[in-house]
Amino acid sequence: MTEGNFVDYVKVHLASGNGGKGSVHLHREKYITKGGPDGGDGGRGGHVIVRGNKNLWTLINFKFKKHFKAGHGEHGSKNRSTGADGADVYMDVPLGTVVRDTETNEVIFEITADKEEKIILEGGKGGRGNWHFKSPTNQTPRYAQPGIPGQETQVTLELKVLADVGLVGFPNAGKSTLLSVMTSAKPKIADYEFTTLKPNLGIVKYRDFRSFVMADIPGIIEGAAEGKGLGHYFLRHIERNATLLFLIPADSNDISKEYEILLDELRRYNPELLDKERLVAISKSDMLDEELMTEMKAELDNDLKGTSYLFISSVAQQGIQELKDRLWTLLNE
């Protein structure tokens, strides 16, 4: 999937259908010139329904179609005939989609299961026909209820990527390169910061035909929790990952400090993110000789305080199989 086709944030305008009017009708047929009331009810207006679809990975369907309007209910008619209900409108969204009220920014609901359906806007009820209002003192009512109008609103759809492993790191840490080596994904790779502007997903093939999903997410910078850089656009995707893989390059000035900054950004955004399983991978380690790697291990054992880490090189294919093994273990403990 190309970067331009990955749409994870969109605003849409919704309108449900009006309810049909109840009928005002008096029964007439041969030999019955003054029958009683028999006006039928109006049909309900169509609902706007959000439905989960496991085959979708992006909100691109809403990139060019942003207005959804359900059908109106038909009016009632004679012989107590109820009008037809308005046609419902279904909006298929990928799993992990959060629906918010655009005006208040409140979460209305989330879609996390395939074929899960939630009514976001109910259609108006149909009005009752005049036969409902007959009584001993009013045997020929000549009035009926109008249908209830439909509703209109604007909502925001946010996609939080559903992946087993999420790559966390500063810009230009080598996340896209690692994803391209471990999966068949072809993310954009270049030697400048913020090459990745949208999440990339790839399926990691493991032993015995097993697999798991890895997400390369736009790079984080200090202050992202307050919205700097890509800010919340990056951080919301982390919430859906089961395991976090922190990627820090071996040529970093201070690996443990970088790791602490990343952890702090996650903590400030949502403290629950620190409850996830995590692993630190020191990338670009093909630049290190044995002596330097031994020194770094001694420092990391002291600084990372028990957090698991390993040295890898995406370009030289070093430590990739061990990384897969460690991630699989974390995912299935």
Measuring CA to CA, which residue among 120, 219, 134 is closest to residue 177? Answer: 219
Measuring CA to CA, which residue among 240, 256, 232 is closest to residue 304? Answer: 256
Widest Cα–Cα separation across the chain: 110
Q: Report whether 55 belongs to an annotated binding site.
A: no
The rounded distance, in Å, linking the Cα atoms of 245 and 296 is 19
Q: Report whether 298 belongs to an annotated binding site.
A: no
Q: Report whether 10 belongs to an annotated binding site.
A: no
Q: Report whether 173 belongs to an annotated binding site.
A: yes
Q: Report whether 283 belongs to an annotated binding site.
A: yes
Q: Report whether 195 belongs to an annotated binding site.
A: yes
Q: Report whether 324 belongs to an annotated binding site.
A: no
Across the beta sheet with 97-101, what order do the strands follow?
67-69, 9-15, 152-159, 97-101, 107-111
Cβ within 8 Å of residue 120, ≥6 positions away:
14, 48, 49, 50, 91, 99, 108, 109, 155
The rounded distance, in Å, linking the Cα atoms of 214 and 8 is 17
The rounded distance, in Å, linking the Cα atoms of 136 and 84 is 30
Q: Report whether 172 belongs to an annotated binding site.
A: yes
- Residue 53 · residue 122 · CB < 8 Å: no
Question: Cβ atoms within 10 A of the Cβ of 31, count?
Answer: 4
Q: Report whether 156 belongs to an annotated binding site.
A: no
The helix or strand, by DSSP H or E, that contains position 258, with its residue range, turns out to be helix 255-269
Q: Report whether 96 belongs to an annotated binding site.
A: no
Q: Report whether 54 belongs to an annotated binding site.
A: no
Measuring CA to CA, which residue among 171, 118, 98, 129 is closest to residue 25? Answer: 129
Q: Report whether 224 belongs to an annotated binding site.
A: no
Q: Report whether 316 belongs to an annotated binding site.
A: no
Q: Report whether 160 belongs to an annotated binding site.
A: no
Q: Report whether 146 belongs to an annotated binding site.
A: no
Q: Report whether 58 belongs to an annotated binding site.
A: no
Q: Report whether 197 belongs to an annotated binding site.
A: yes
Local structure of residue 209 (DSSP, 8 states): G
Q: Report whether 141 belongs to an annotated binding site.
A: no
- Residue 168 · residue 281 · CB < 8 Å: no
Beta bridge partners of 213: 203
Residues in binding site: 169-176, 194-198, 216-219, 283-286, 313-315
Residues in binding site for GTP: 169-176, 194-198, 216-219, 283-286, 313-315
Residues in binding site for Mg(2+): 176, 196
